Chain A
Amino acid sequence: MPEETLRPAWSQHFTPDAIQELLSHGPFAGITPEWAWGNSAGKGIRVAVVDSGVEYDHPALEGCVRGGVVVEYDARAKDNYRIKPDEKPIDVSGHGTACAGIIHSIAPEAEIYSVRVLGRNMGGRAIQFAAGLDWTIENDMQIVNLSLSTSLEEFFGLFHDLTDQAYFKNMNLISAVNNIPEPSYPSLYSAVISVAAHEGKDPYTYYYNPNPPVEFGAPGIDVEVAWNKKQYLVCTGNSFAAPHITGITALIRAKHPELTPFQIKSVLLACAANTKRQSK
């Protein structure tokens, strides 16, 4: 057997014993959740869910889905994929609807776009994923939820380039880290906001981990989520933690449209439940 170093179990950074208390200094100490997202509903923020699709008419989504595309693998097409419009998106599995439902429950006035890259035709899984991410960059999405990843080493460079492009276009990519002992892209890049699950239930309570690459811990255990065919399911996984941070980021961006991606990460850190504000 190859002697590989087992990667850390990401969520262990967010167990009650492991959470480290952090101190916010100077002007950062003045940043509170109330300042960051108080009274915000994420109005008008364009959020893409790159996943298995989003069931546009699921009752939990209350009509927040504004459109989308399907990225299909096609060996004969240029770059091996083609993109088709999907004005009334469906979800082929339920996973994307679950993510969209969590985002909508936190940011009810955000606009959700479905970018379906997963499905029966999985001949070019990583290519479809990359093409879907590229579509979000070219189509002015502001936040992208990525509750999927690839372990394929040959895509390291392509995803790195895409996440940099997104960063320079003022986008926030929120990526679920993968609970398997393998590298997963793009969750390990610094230009994304990486998220693992913690045991809490309050959707606004999340933690910052000062030992990245996983940066934030949000609820992801036994979360009741929307599922395709108008269903609901109780699920556990980092896939369901990332949309919580996506929702909160939508709230912050709607209230503070001037903030850049790196400022938003600072705001998220300042408002994390394990960050204490230094009194003046």
Chain B
Amino acid sequence: MNPDKDINEEKLSEQLQRLLISIEASGRAVLPKSNDVLLKSIVDAAARIFGAAAASILLVNEEEEALEFKVAFGPSDQDLVGTKFPYDKGIAGYVFMTGHPIATSNVREDKRFNQDFAKSTGYVPDSILATPLISSDDRVIGVMEVLDKIDATSFNLQDMELLGMFAQQAAMAIDMSQQIDSIEQALVNGLKRLAKSDRSQDSSDLQAALNQALRVENRPSDFLELADLFNDISALGEAERKACLQVLKVFAEYRKSNSAPRRFR
């Protein structure tokens, strides 16, 4: 037996508590609860700011080589969510492909334009402005659209340039939120393995999520440290993992009965 074991467990417990508190605090301050809530707040704001009857966000689904409506505001918003279409279809598709924003108008009146796709979404807009969502590591992660300018026949260049700036901020928030979602999922998996002391699976999913997250600067560092710590813990011996699990159980019980985490201090 290691004579320092109790002391080390105590230190580990303190460290975990501190990290959990700090990530909870930073998470609350920086991010909404979920990616969906974040997306919804972005399109609602975009529609208001740009005087548009509708707005939507499409994110890339690389496996299916498609863009998928993740959130929509306006007519037929519920029908749109979940709809996917290949990169080479629709206004959003070529914004994704070229990486350049674009606006169109007279879509509804122009008999020469094939409206089948627009009709298939249940909503044929008259004017569209679409701009790429580019993550802070320069990847095009999706497209943001505002549709049907309320007080004009089309969106103008100023709208285009402002939407570009708006989308830049939105893309960073979405990217960060997605990565945190994936880290959270990986953490849950890691903790489940920890609880089962199952070493048959490695922690590559957590490591992959961490690597992806670490490519982007300025995310809550406590969160990453915490995730990294769990990754390290999962590689320890059985006794250490059990000790860690015990600490977490105690912490969870404590949190159920005490809503103010600062009481740990």
Interface residues of A (CB under 8 A from B): 1-2, 6, 9-12, 51-52, 92-95, 118-122, 125, 147-153, 176, 178-182, 184, 197, 199, 220-222, 227, 229-239
Report yes or no: A229 in contact with B138, Cβ–Cβ below 8 A: no
Report yes or no: B160 in contact with A181, Cβ–Cβ below 8 A: no
Report yes or no: A180 in contact with B155, Cβ–Cβ below 8 A: no
From B161, which residue of chain A is reached at the shortest CB distance?
A9
Contacts of B155 in A (CB 8 A): 236
Report yes or no: A93 in contact with B101, Cβ–Cβ below 8 A: no
B100 in the interface (beta carbon within 8 A): yes
CA distance A234 to B107 in the complex (A): 8
Given A182-B168, A227-B113: A119 and B88 interface contact (C-beta under 8 Å): yes
Contacts of B94 in A (CB 8 A): 52, 93-95, 118
B156 in the interface (beta carbon within 8 A): yes
Question: Which 9 residue pairs of A and B lie closest in terms of their CB atoms, listed nearest first?
Answer: A9-B161, A236-B103, A180-B164, A118-B97, A148-B98, A92-B88, A93-B94, A237-B102, A151-B138
Contacts of A239 in B (CB 8 A): 98, 100, 102
B99 in the interface (beta carbon within 8 A): yes
Report yes or no: B157 in contact with A197, Cβ–Cβ below 8 A: yes
**Interface residues of B, count at CB 8 A:** 47
From A237, which residue of chain B is reached at the shortest CB distance?
B102
B119 in the interface (beta carbon within 8 A): no
Report yes or no: B105 in contact with A180, Cβ–Cβ below 8 A: no
From the candidates B99, B113, B156, B168, name the one contacting A236 in the complex (CB within 8 A). Answer: B156
B125 in the interface (beta carbon within 8 A): no
B131 in the interface (beta carbon within 8 A): yes
From A11, which residue of chain B is reached at the shortest CB distance?
B157
Report yes or no: B102 in contact with A181, Cβ–Cβ below 8 A: no
Contacts of A12 in B (CB 8 A): 161
Given A120-B88, A148-B98, A236-B155: A1 and B169 interface contact (C-beta under 8 Å): yes
Q: Which of B207-229 contact A (CB under 8 A)?
A: 217-218
From the candidates A51, A120, A147, A229, name the one contacting B87 in the complex (CB within 8 A). Answer: A120
From the candidates A6, A120, A152, A231, name the one contacting B112 in the complex (CB within 8 A). Answer: A231
Report yes or no: B98 in contact with A147, Cβ–Cβ below 8 A: yes
Report yes or no: B99 in contact with A148, Cβ–Cβ below 8 A: yes
Report yes or no: B97 in contact with A122, Cβ–Cβ below 8 A: yes
25 contacts between A and B (CB under 8 A): A1-B173, A2-B172, A2-B218, A9-B157, A10-B161, A93-B94, A93-B97, A118-B97, A119-B87, A121-B65, A147-B98, A148-B98, A148-B99, A178-B99, A178-B100, A199-B157, A220-B157, A229-B114, A231-B113, A232-B113, A233-B107, A236-B105, A236-B154, A236-B157, A239-B98
From the candidates B87, B138, B164, B167, name the one contacting A122 in the complex (CB within 8 A). Answer: B87
Report yes or no: A234 in contact with B105, Cβ–Cβ below 8 A: yes
Contacts of A150 in B (CB 8 A): 99, 138
Report yes or no: B86 in contact with A180, Cβ–Cβ below 8 A: no
From B107, which residue of chain A is reached at the shortest CB distance?
A233
Q: A197-B157, A234-B106 are in contact. List 12 more A-B contacts (CB 8 A).
A: A1-B169, A9-B162, A9-B164, A93-B97, A95-B98, A125-B99, A151-B138, A180-B99, A180-B168, A231-B114, A232-B113, A235-B103
CA distance A182 to B131 in the complex (A): 12
From A178, which residue of chain B is reached at the shortest CB distance?
B100
B136 in the interface (beta carbon within 8 A): yes
Q: Which of B92-151 contact A (CB under 8 A)?
A: 93-94, 96-107, 110, 112-114, 131-132, 134, 136, 138-140
